[in-house]
Amino acid sequence: MTQNTPLSPRLPHLPLRPADVTQRVLSAAQLRAWGVSAAQTSARCLPGGPWQHLLPGVYLLHPGPPTGRERLHGALLYAGRPPVSARRAPAGPSETGYGEAMVTGIAALALYGFATAGDLGALHRIDVLVPRTRRLRSTRFVEVLRTASMPGAVRVGEVPVAPVRRALADAVAGMTDAADVRRLLTEAVLAGHCEPTALVSELSEAKLLGRPAVVGAVDALLAEGRAVAESRLYAMVREHGLPDPLWNVELRLPGGPRLGGVDAYWPDHAVAVELDTRAPRYGVPDRRGRAQEDPQWSAYAAKREHLERLGVTVVHLTPGKLREAVAQQATVVRTALMAAADREPAAYVMVLPR
């Protein structure tokens, strides 16, 4: 009489919770910590067996196709350093076996909720950021990106994810279609994930601004960012009870040269507001660590100095300040308007539409 031979010896009890992805995908080191030998693991991964070999040193503990979350967890286990403790099971984020690895690129944007990133389960590739010193190759659906400067990870649930700016730069680095790049960057700004100038700075540091697919997208991004900042400025004046200014005007001395445009101007108080939506294309340090000169900033500083010599107070606002501390910025503008009565009268300037 023939008996069916068991697939493998009885395994130690594994506390598998079907709802917990971190216990449906385990590394070889984690399995060893649970008392599962390499031979037992290999036996259960044979054709028709209950487990699968998902990635080098990473195993899927069920026979069906991996979900998006399982592939994500597996990618981090592959890229992370295996745990060195002999404790039975990972109990928290510091014991997941991820090490310094973090998700970046499109997969990270999907975790942040970007509509243009698509569904996590439909992604063919998961980008994982690791220190440059790691000797690790890309494999199957995992693309390993090495960097000399690891950013601080953001936790999305229990998943370590690169900050939005860095994830966007890593995603754009792998894209060639200008329309796709533009949609991605536009969503980042309109959904409030990051400010345009900060994003352009990140793209500049990644040396992506010169790429054909990026050039036009960045110009559109900055225009979109200015429109968003202007809307916030209008809302600030309206919602915080400031007097109505003249919007988007050009200042000029009578019979003299133009003094430049401002976003808002109160002629009775000689107070102007200017939004700083410059792209920091020149702000990245050179090889000697010195900041490169920004001609836009130089022109802005000269204009501001000229106006203040004429008695016009210029309030400098950034899109980030309007988004994160709008009440404080309204107080700054109100204080400048109230202080007008205590200043020497400003020189007369002409106000023209811009």
pLDDT tens for each residue of 282-322: 444 443 444 455 566 677 788 889 899 999 999 999 888 89
The helix (run of H) or strand (run of E) holding residue 350 is strand 350-353
Q: What is the pLDDT of residues 44-63, one digit of tens each?
A: 999 999 999 999 999 999 99
Q: What are phi and psi of 65, to 5 degrees?
A: -65, 145
Of 337 and 81, which is predicted with more confidence?
337
Give the whole-angstrom CA distance, residue 222 versus residue 200. 8
In the 8-state DSSP scheme, what is residue 152?
P
Q: Provide the pairing of β-strand 154-156 with 159-161.
A: antiparallel
Which single residue is written with the structure tokens 């601004």? 209
Of 315 and 3, which is predicted with more confidence?
315
Question: Given this model, what pLDDT does residue 341 score?
Answer: 86
Is 311 in contact with 267 (CB distance < 8 Å)? no
The number of residues making up the chain comes to: 354
Give the whole-angstrom CA distance, residue 71 versus residue 88. 23
Of 223 and 156, which is predicted with more confidence?
156
Question: Given this model, what pLDDT does residue 56 score?
Answer: 95
Q: What is the pLDDT of residues 80-132, one digit of tens each?
A: 964 444 344 443 333 567 989 999 999 999 999 999 999 998 999 999 999 99
Which single residue is written with the structure tokens 């016009």? 312
pLDDT averaged over the chain? 85
Question: Given this model, what pLDDT does residue 257 score?
Answer: 84
Of 129 and 2, which is predicted with more confidence?
129
Give the whole-angstrom CA distance, residue 25 versus residue 14. 12
What DSSP string runs through 241-302?
TPPP-EEEEEEE-TTS-EEEEEEEEETTTTEEEEE-----TT-SB-TTSPBPP-HHHHHHHH
Range 197-222 average pLDDT = 88
Give the whole-angstrom CA distance, residue 352 versus residue 261. 9
Is 156 in contact with 133 (CB distance < 8 Å)? no
Percent of residues, the chain, with pLDDT higher than 90? 58
Closest C-alpha to 264, from 248, 276, 277? 248
Question: Given this model, what pLDDT does residue 298 score?
Answer: 73
pTM for this entry: 0.75
Question: Given this model, what pLDDT does residue 87 score?
Answer: 40
Range 266-295 average pLDDT = 67
Question: Given this model, what pLDDT does residue 320 score?
Answer: 83
The CB-based long-range contact list for 337-345 (8 Å cut-off, 24+ gap) reads 337/242, 337/243, 337/266, 337/269, 337/271, 339/313, 340/268, 340/269, 340/270, 340/271, 340/313, 343/270, 343/311, 343/313, 344/311, 345/270, 345/311
Range 197-219 average pLDDT = 88
Position 26: which residue type? L
Is 154 in contact with 162 (CB distance < 8 Å)? yes
